[in-house]
Amino acid sequence: MSLFTRAQLGVLSDILQDATRAEILPRFRCLAEGAIRSKTGPLDLVTDADEAAERMITARLQAEFPGCVVIGEEAASADARVLDGLMQADLAFVVDPVDGTSNFAAGMTLFGCMSAVLMRGQVVGTAIHDPIGRDTALALRGEGAWIAREDGSTRGLHVAAPVPVSEMNGGASWRFLPPDLGARVAANLPRVAGSFGYRCAAHEYRLLAGGGCHYLFYGRLYPWDHAPGWLLHQEAGGYSAHFDGSAYQADNIHGGLICTPDRDSWDALRAALLG
């Protein structure tokens, strides 16, 4: 099977935008009583918008790409077995219909709709749509990363220039790390210039790929949360790896991930936060 094409990526982008207009934006700041529910705890939410958008996106992808495997966050939350076969499928899509659900449910505008394309386990395409800004961050393996606007214009994405650790600003998440490691990372954060958490990987990765920050640091890596942003960052010129230095794999959920402008920056930040 050939690599995913730019035209096919456009189809994926259109599907995400259509689902946003039909199922997500009409519910933004208009969620009915009972439309927000907890899954595993108070910080893990799902809304009617997540579920309706995922159903629409899944149906459209299966119609446009017959035989593909579609793994949505909400389907996987209901039955983790849907992840089986992700890395072996000829063509698979991982879908996060509303990334940043806590923000969406609270009426905050930092949420996104995103998907990554995998072929035999290799991430080859990315679409991260911003429903409020009404543009989409796109990437194809080996072809770069860019923002596509509604008017058809595009803008290339490139990571920030490297800086010393003491000047790095970025996002660090230690919530899902083992307690001792999380405490160590939190204690080491004063070694960087600044850290933030948007509660939305879609916008964090978009910011990183566009040069708006220097690093991202994550502990848990569900593929729908990180495969789209990982490729966007890679194609924008960045360097990333699991905590042990191995290359990112979409099925390595607990390997941690550090994303920086280049390898030297990665080595320095890893030493600063994990050392």
Q: Does 56 reside within a domain? A: yes
pLDDT digits (tens, 9 = 90+) for 75-102: 888 888 888 889 999 999 999 999 999 9
Check residue 84 and give its pLDDT: 86
* Structure token digits, residue 222: 């569900």
The residue behind tokens 């543009």 is: 135
Would residue 1 count as lying in a domain? no
Same domain, 40 and 136: yes
Asked whether residue 1 carries a pLDDT value surpassing 50, the answer given is no
DSSP assignment of 220-269 equals ---HHHHHHHHHHHHHTT-EEE-TTSPPP-TT-TTS-EEEESSHHHHHHH
Number of Cα atoms under 13 Å in the Cβ half of residue 209: 29
Among 121, 156, 191, residue at a domain's last position:
156
Residue with tokens 């394309």: 117
Q: What is the pLDDT of residue 81?
A: 85
How confident is the prediction for the chain on average, in pLDDT?
Answer: 95
The CATH number of the domain holding residue 263 is 3.40.190.80
Q: Which of 105, 124, 156 is the last residue of a domain?
A: 156
Q: Give the total number of structural domains in the chain.
A: 2
Label each residue of 61-117 as H, E or C. HHHHCCCCEEEEHHHHHHCHHHHCCCCCCCCEEEEEEEECHHHHHCCCCCCEEEEEE
Counting residues of the chain whose pLDDT is more than 70, the rounded percentage is 99
Angstrom CA distances, 197 to 87, 170, 217, stand at 29, 9, 10
State phi, psi for 22 to the nearest 5 degrees.
-85, -40
Amino acid at 64: E
Q: What is the mean pLDDT of residues 196-222?
A: 97
Kindly list the distances between the CA atom of residue 5 and the CA atoms of 88, 146, 181, in Å, as whole numbers in the listed order: 20, 15, 41
pTM (two decimals): 0.96
Residue 47 to residue 165: CA distance in whole angstroms: 39
Task: Domain of residue 15: give its range.
Answer: 6-156
Q: Do 77 and 189 reside in the same domain of the chain?
A: no
48 within domain boundaries: yes
pLDDT in tens, 12-42: 999 999 999 999 999 999 998 889 888 777 7
Considering just the CA atoms, what is the radius of gyration of the chain in Å? 18
Confidence band of 228 (pLDDT split at 50, 70, 90): very high
- Asked whether 100 and 126 are in contact (CB, 8 A), the reply is no
Give the confidence band of 74 by pLDDT, cuts at 50, 70, 90: confident
151 and 170 housed in the same domain: no
pLDDT value at 138 more than 70: yes
Mention every residue, 6+ apart, whose C-beta is less than 8 A from residue 183: none
pLDDT in tens, 35-69: 988 877 777 789 999 999 999 999 999 999 999 99
- Which candidate, 274, 259, 267, places its Cα nearest to that of 188? 274
**pLDDT tens, residue by residue, 153-177:** 999 999 999 999 999 999 999 888 9
Q: What is the pLDDT of residue 142?
A: 95
Per-residue pLDDT at 172: 95
